[in-house]
Structure 1
Amino acid sequence: MTEFDVVVVGAGPAGSAAALEVARAGLSVALVERGPFPGAKNVFGGVVYGRVLDELIPRWWERMPVQRWVTRRSTMVLTPTQALTVDLRAQDWGQAPYNGATAHRSELDSWLAEQAVAAGATLITSTVVTGRSATGVRTDRPDGDIAAKVVIACDGVNSFLAKEAGLFKAREHNTLGVKETLALPRAVIDERFGLTGDEGADFEIIGCTGDIPGGGFLYTNKESVGIGVVLELDGLTAAKVRPEELIAELKAHPAIAPLVRGGELVEYSAHLIPEGGYRTMPELVTDGMLIAGDAAAMCLAAGIWLEGVNFALGAGMYAGRAAAAAIAKGDTSKAGLAAYRTMLENSFVLGDHRRLRDMPGLVLSERVQRRYPGLVCDLAQGMFEVDNAQPKPGLRKLLREARRTHGVRVRDLLRDGITAMRSLS
């Protein structure tokens, strides 16, 4: 049996951050990954927000493998014939230490694991952890199990270790993220999205998934764009629609087609996303074990935000610190590891999730998904439409007509508005 102070299961962002912190504390740590290399099994359709790395890797932006630095952030609301976009361009986002970046997970995860190994962690690949043992974890390796004082479970959305420990909650709002990567020349991407140099664009889209609760996304890499949809599993099952059909419809939308025209499909991928947020998180601490990342449902899906990697990095960092502190004190019980929860509560990781705990349910509600896109698009079109046959209609009249057209009651509009304001204030 191989022995370490800590074993971290899963070499994603949470796992590598945890292993890095443990190694820096002078303890032995195994970082176990079931793929042939970190990032081999990961797909990703979004943006990495890296400022949490300020605490982990000094001047990380000079070394982290990125595709583009996001300087354009757009939120789009679509109907079959309309598109309303809030488009933000921020010049300082294109300067160090940067706000967000597009990145390939195969490159990002490998780089993060390299930082942990350089600090002293032992990376063990092509190894499946099959469960906990009395002294650590069981694996499928012929040379036996791995002994450790503390196990940090970063083993993904369907965490086997959390389930085995009885900590796993039934997941509400699980979604399936499906992405196509379309190759386009760099010059074409720059021209279509209005970018120069290493500037990048990120579009988050609502109203593009029909009767299935969810949303869409479009973002730029150096010489490709990622486009896809995020779909609630129950809704996808009931609709009996293939995800690629919805992506095809999104690519054909008048607001999207000019941006992706001529793109060559080079990758198709899918990944389960735990979008339930704070209300679906498992217990994060038990005797000898901590849970972080997707295993702990730490994906923030709150309408205008879809973030996961930064929360995984933060949780992994605090898990590593808590494990090292507990071992130093000689108490790796649930009580001895409780500092992990305290660290999370005092940071953005649980601070953001707790404040926005009602947003996943609101965003995936029938009104937000099917009624509000048409309402806001009709309202905007009515404000800007000029026929000169009569004076311009007032906003109150336009809103009343849009509500009636799309079946939105005043009390529902007020209730949803209050929920959003409480979450965002």
Structure 2
Amino acid sequence: MTYAGPGSQSTVVSDDQARTRMFDVVVVGAGPAGSAAALEVARAGYSVALIERGPFPGSKNVYGGVVYGRVLDELIPNWWEQMPVQRWVTRRCTMVMTPAQALTVDFRTQDWGRPPYNGATAHRADLDSWLAEQAVAAGAVLVPSTVVTGLLRSSAGAVVGVRTDRPDGDLTAGVVIACDGVNSFLAKEAGLFPPGGDSHLTLGVKQTLRLSREVIDERFGVTGTDGVDFEILGCTRGIPGGGFLYTNLDSVSIGVVLGLESLSTAKTRPEELIADLKRHPAIAPLIRGGVEIEYSAHLIPEGGYRSMPRLTGDGILVAGDAAAMCLAAGIWLEGVNFALGAGMYAGRAAADALRAGDTSRRGLAGYTALLEKSFVLADHRKLRDFPGLVLSDRMQHNYPGLACDLVQGLFQVDNPRPKPGLGRLLRRSAKANGVRLRDLARDAWTGMRAMR
């Protein structure tokens, strides 16, 4: 993120300053969205500044996770030959658990272990630097170690640049693309976010544990650069959220994602939940002997489609986490690919508006049109009800136990008693876990309707 704070104020500049702009486009934040936007603008032949608060892109990122790179097909041909990855995910496990049980849907395919691949584990410090290098090679000007402190506006109110903490001052531009991360102060300052709290935010907390490559291969059943991604429900003591475990080349990362409002009222610290997860009988054998080499936390905008701000204003576009474009919909947990897609389309829309000589909100409307035709808004709109369903009380408190008890009942042999029927087992498990069958049916219908 590259921003000042909620107290920042817009500065009005003269019309002459606005017309004699230093850059055609200023992109704030050199994460995936920002670098993709800068790359598109530079390739279109326009001048673009890519501003980064840290000394280099990725320097302040402790995130590492699964990145789905197919969106890069449009940006960087044969990207898989260049992108810095840890492992290619060829095994995906979705797990629900109680303190003593675990039920896992375990899928693997070698189709994901060859080009064009599907997902990969990667360190953001490496990924962000590589993406910014692509933008710079195309002609973007990287401006590191710079904090944006507010917006510049024309006398008519349009955004015409940004204020910075640099000694040489402000940067004027025809379009500002805000990619300044969760809780974007630029989008708020531009009036694009509706009033409201942070109910859509979650806190991701992660430990990275060093294990040898050979141990990881043996325990997770992979070889070479194949990797594994576990997504887990039922490991947060009822706090809305979930857990994860994935393999890097010579380390594994384990952690939890927790609803911020519920976490603030719970008398539980995130590290206690990670300790619970690490002790669980389904997880402990996989990470035994791992040495902690990193502990980190970051905010995630998980509200989806219903929590997005307006994406365009006069002279400004918003992309990536700044626009709440992380998809957290149960079995789909994606963010970087949506940031890359949104940044790419923001860069294209900015170039089109500059070409047409109209950088007003109307002139920049092509951005929304591009997003609606692509997976970025199409997937978010289709799955708009999923975040509420996944973070609901029943999903968090009741359904993990119901699922585990149901499967345990199916496989348990109680001779000389005959096997109970599935309907009886379902009713018994539902009652034991406080689930009414009509609520189960209603939630199932919500999920199926969202996926049609």
TM range (shorter): over 0.9
Q: Relative to structure 2, which stretch is displaced further, 73-82 or 161-170? A: 161-170
Cα displacement string for residues 253-279 of structure 1 (whole angstroms, at most 9, x for unaligned residues)? 000000011000000000000000000
2:375 corresponding residue in structure 1: 348
Partner of 1:199: 226
CA distance in 2, matches of 1:192, 1:423: 36
SS in 1 for 2:68: coil
> For 1:18-417, what aligned pairs fall within 5 Å after superposition?
18-134=37-153, 135-169=160-194, 170=196, 171-417=198-444
User: How far apart, in 2, do the equivalents of 1:99 and 1:386 lie?
Assistant: 40
Q: Which amino acid aligns with 2:170?
A: D
Q: Secondary structure at the match of 2:182?
A: coil
1:47–1:102 CA contact under 8 A, matched in 2: yes
Report if aligned partners of 2:96, 2:232 keep a CA contact under 8 Å in 1.
Answer: yes
Q: Quick one: which amino acid aligns to residue 113 of structure 1?
A: A
Is residue 422 of structure 1 aligned with residue 441 of structure 2? Answer: no
Would you say the 8 A contact 2:385–2:450 is kept in 1?
yes
Deviation at 1:237, TM superposition (A): 1.2
In the aligned structure 1, how far is the partner of 2:323 from the partner of 2:221? 38
C-alpha separation in 2, matches of 1:41 and 1:416 = 40
The DSSP-based 3-state class of the residue aligned with 1:133 is strand
Q: Deviations over 1:22-63 (max 9, x none)?
A: 000000000000011111122324300000000000000000
- State whether residues 211 and 235 of structure 1, in contact with CA within 8 Å, keep that contact through their aligned partners in structure 2: no
Q: What is the aligned-residue RMSD (CA, Å)?
A: 0.9
When structure 1 is superposed on structure 2, of 292-301 and 39-48 the one drifting more is: 39-48
Contact kept in structure 2, 1:182 and 1:266, CA below 8 Å: yes
CA distance, structure 1, for counterparts of residue 408 and residue 375 of structure 2: 38
Partner Cα distance (2:41, 2:175) in 1? 11
Aligned residue for 1:83, secondary structure, equals strand
Tell me how far apart the structure 2 counterparts of residues 410 and 32 of structure 1 sit (CA, whole Å): 53
Deviation, 1:287, is 0.3
Q: Which SS does the other structure have where 2:205 is aligned?
A: strand
Give the letter aligned to residue 243 of structure 2: G
2: CA distance between counterparts of 1:389 and 1:291?
65
Q: Within 2, Cα distance between the matches of 1:32 and 1:158?
A: 17
Query: What amino acid is the match of 2:77?
Result: P
TM-score by length of 2: 0.93
Query: AA paired with 2:53?
Result: R
Residue 211 of structure 1, CA deviation: 2.3
Q: CA deviation at 1:388?
A: 1.4
**TM-score normalised over the length of structure 1:** 0.99
Partner AA of 2:202 in structure 1: T
Paired letter, 1:219: Y
1:45 touches 1:179 (CA, 8 Å); kept in 2? no
Measured in 1, the distance between the counterparts of 2:300 and 2:274 equals 17
Letter paired with 1:365: S
Query: Partners of 1:361 and 1:242 in 2: how far apart?
Result: 23
The residue number in structure 1 matching 2:6 is: none
Code of the residue aligned with 1:157 in structure 2: it is: V
Q: Distance in 2 between matches of 1:295 and 1:68?
A: 28
Gaps of 5+ in 2: 1-16, 154-159
Letter in structure 2 aligned against 1:131: G
For 2:233, the aligned partner's letter is: I
What is the percent sequence identity of the aligned residues?
A: 75
For residues 320 and 313 of structure 2, the distance between their equivalents in structure 1, rounded to whole angstroms, comes to 16
Q: Distance in 1 between matches of 2:62 and 2:437?
A: 41
3-state SS of paired residue (1:39): coil
Rounded to whole Å, the distance in 2 between the matches of 1:166 and 1:410 is 44
Deviations 1:52-87 (A, max 9, x none): 000000000000000000000000000000000000
